Structures are given as structure tokens and as C-alpha cells.
């Protein structure tokens, strides 16, 4: 079960002079088992359902390590909450974000990517990174507020 990610994380923390600990493993497991864009607080709530508690600072620092080793990417939408999404084995994508219910829909577009490459080439510009986010109302929220 996701052994490649565990190996990457284990090797990374060792390279940073850190130890593999039970709290770090619980946090990693919670993240790997999540499918959504999760905040440190979401992970904190997931790992603290049992008897053994993990502090918020430990969760935040471990999520930073998970991001630093390339297993996650930190994303921030218009609500100011940092969230983490899986990166290993995932294609580059963009987001549609509902401003009412906060639903996030990932999408890819060959047309957009082709236009981006043409723009970069035309301007002799070297891309380092980019993100594309569209904010609006999802279908369910439009129906609730009476929009079609």
C-alpha cells in the first residue's frame, strides 16, 4: 500500500537527519489515504481520532516535510487556507473552485497547455511554474441559489 511514497519519505527524512517516528508515520498515512485537497487541520483531525494524540505543530511540520520531499504540493485557494494535494504519479492539472461550498474540481486541458507552450515560445520565456484556478459556482450550488 503506497510503498513507493513511504520509501521516498523515509529516505528524505533520513537525509535531513531526522528519524522515522510513529506520529510522522500516522500523519503520512492520513495524507496518503486522503483523496481531497487537505489542510494541516484536516490531517490533525484525522490523526487524533484515536487514543494517541499528535500535536498540531507536529502535523504542520510533517506536512511540510511531505511537501519538501515531493509527495505533496501546497495549494492555496481564495480562502487563505493552505491545503496539500498529492503529486507523485499525478498529471499536471488546474482547479475549478466553488466559492459557495468550496468544492474543488481538478481538470486538464490539452488546448490550454498547447496555447501556453506557444506563448512561451513566442516570448522566449522559460516557465518555472504556473497555476490556473477558476472561481465560480458548481452545479449543485447554482441549483440551490436558483441559477441555471
pLDDT at 120 over 60: yes
**Domain 3-86 is in which class?**
mainly alpha
Query: What percent helix, strand, coil does the chain show, rounded to 5?
Result: 45, 15, 40
Domain with CATH 3.30.1490.190 in the chain: 94-145
Let me know how long the chain is. 148
Q: 148: pLDDT confidence band, cut at 50, 70 and 90?
A: low
- Give pLDDT tens digits for 69-106: 999 999 888 788 889 999 887 778 888 999 898 888 98
Q: How many CB atoms lie within 10 A of CB 46?
A: 19
User: In angstroms, rounded to a whole number, what is the distance separating the alpha carbons of residues 37 and 17?
Assistant: 29
In DSSP terms, 136 is beta-bridged to 98
Domain with CATH 1.10.10.10 in the chain: 3-86
Q: Topology of 94-145 in CATH?
A: Dna Ligase; domain 1 (3.30.1490)
**Nearby residues of 109 by Cβ (< 8 Å), 6 or more positions away:** 94
User: In angstroms, rounded to a whole number, what is the distance separating the alpha carbons of residues 46 and 32?
Assistant: 12
pLDDT at 129 over 90: no
Amino acid at each position: 500500500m503506497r510503498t513507493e511514497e513511504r520509501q521516498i519519505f523515509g529516505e528524505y527524512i533520513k537525509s535531513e537527519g531526522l528519524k522515522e517516528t510513529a506520529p510522522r508515520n500516522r500523519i503520512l498515512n492520513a495524507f496518503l489515504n486522503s483523496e481531497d485537497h487537505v489542510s494541516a487541520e484536516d490531517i490533525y483531525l484525522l490523526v487524533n481520532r484515536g487514543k494517541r494524540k499528535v500535536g498540531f505543530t507536529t502535523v504542520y511540520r510533517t506536512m511540510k516535510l511531505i511537501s519538501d520531499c515531493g509527495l505533496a504540493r501546497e495549494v492555496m485557494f481564495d480562502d487563505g487556507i493552505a491545503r496539500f494535494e498529492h503529486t507523485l504519479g499525478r498529471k499536471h492539472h488546474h482547479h475549478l473552485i466553488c466559492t459557495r461550498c468550496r468544492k474543488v474540481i481538478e481538470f486538464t486541458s490539452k488546448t490550454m497547455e498547447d496555447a501556453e507552450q506557444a506563448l512561451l515560445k513566442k516570448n522566449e520565456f522559460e516557465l518555472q511554474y504556473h497555476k490556473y484556478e477558476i472561481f465560480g459556482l458548481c452545479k449543485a450550488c447554482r441549483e440551490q441559489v436558483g441559477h441555471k
